[in-house]
Structure 1
Amino acid sequence: MALNRKGLNSDDNILADRMDDRIKQIDTSTICKVISVNTENKTVSVLPMVQMNDLNNNPVDHALVNDIPYIRLQAGSYGIICDPVVGDIGLVVFCSRDISNVIKNKKVTTTGSKRTHSISDGIYVASLLLEEPKIYLKIIDETIEIKGNVTVNGNITATGDIVAGKVSLQNHIHSNGNNGGNTGKPSG
Structure 2
Amino acid sequence: MIENITGFGDLGYTQNDASQTAFIVRQIMNGMATSAPVKVMAVHSGDSGYTVDVQVMVNQIDGKGNGIPHGTIHGLPVKTLRAGTCEIRIKPRVGDKGVVSFCHSDISVVKKTGAIGNPGSRRKFDWSDGIYLGSFHADGEATSVIEIGDDDNVLIKSPTVALQASDLVDIAGPVTTDTEYRVGGTKVVGTQQGAITAPTGGSTIDSQARTTINAILNALKGHGLIAS
Give the TM-score of the pair, scaled to structure 2. Answer: 0.71
SS at match of 1:23: helix
User: What's the counterpart of residue 172 of structure 2?
Assistant: 159
User: What's the counterpart of residue 52 of structure 1?
Assistant: 60
The whole-number CA distance in structure 2 between the counterparts of 1:72 and 1:177 is 57
The whole-number CA distance in structure 2 between the counterparts of 1:58 and 1:153 is 53
The whole-number CA distance in structure 2 between the counterparts of 1:117 and 1:83 is 26
The whole-number CA distance in structure 1 between the counterparts of 2:58 and 2:153 is 38
User: What's the counterpart of residue 129 of structure 1?
Assistant: 137
Structure 1 residues 174 and 108, CA, compared in 2 at 3 Å: closer, same or farther? farther
SS at match of 2:43: strand
Report deviation, 1:146.
0.9
Specify every segment of 5 or more residues in structure 1 that has no aligned partner in the other structure, as ranges. none
Contact 1:3 1:13 in 2 (8 A): no
Counterpart of 2:177, as a letter, is A
- Pick one of 139, 142, 154 that aligns with 1:144: 154
- Pick one of 71, 77, 83 that aligns with 1:75: 83
Bigger relative CO (Cα 8 Å, ≥ 6 apart): 1
SS at match of 2:110: helix
Deviates more, 1:67-76 or 1:87-96: 67-76
User: What's the counterpart of residue 226 of structure 2?
Assistant: none
Structure 1 residues 129 and 177, CA, compared in 2 at 3 Å: closer, same or farther? farther
Counterpart of 1:37, as a letter, is V
The whole-number CA distance in structure 2 between the counterparts of 1:88 and 1:38 is 14
- Pick one of 5, 16, 26 that aligns with 2:22: 16
User: What's the counterpart of residue 31 of structure 1?
Assistant: 37
The whole-number CA distance in structure 1 between the counterparts of 2:43 and 2:98 is 13
Deviates more, 1:85-94 or 1:8-17: 8-17
The whole-number CA distance in structure 1 between the counterparts of 2:143 and 2:22 is 51
Counterpart of 1:160, as a letter, is G
SS at match of 2:116: coil
SS at match of 1:163: coil
Report deviation, 1:107.
0.6
Report deviation, 1:11.
1.4
User: What's the counterpart of residue 42 of structure 1?
Assistant: 50
1:136-183: CA deviation from partner (whole Å, max 9, x where unpaired): 11122432211122111123211211122399x9xx787439737553
Counterpart of 1:136, as a letter, is V
Structure 1 residues 153 and 174, CA, compared in 2 at 3 Å: closer, same or farther? farther
Specify every segment of 5 or more residues in structure 2 that has no aligned partner in the other structure, as ranges. 1-8, 181-188, 199-212, 224-228
CA-based RMSD: 2.7
Q: How many residues align?
A: 182
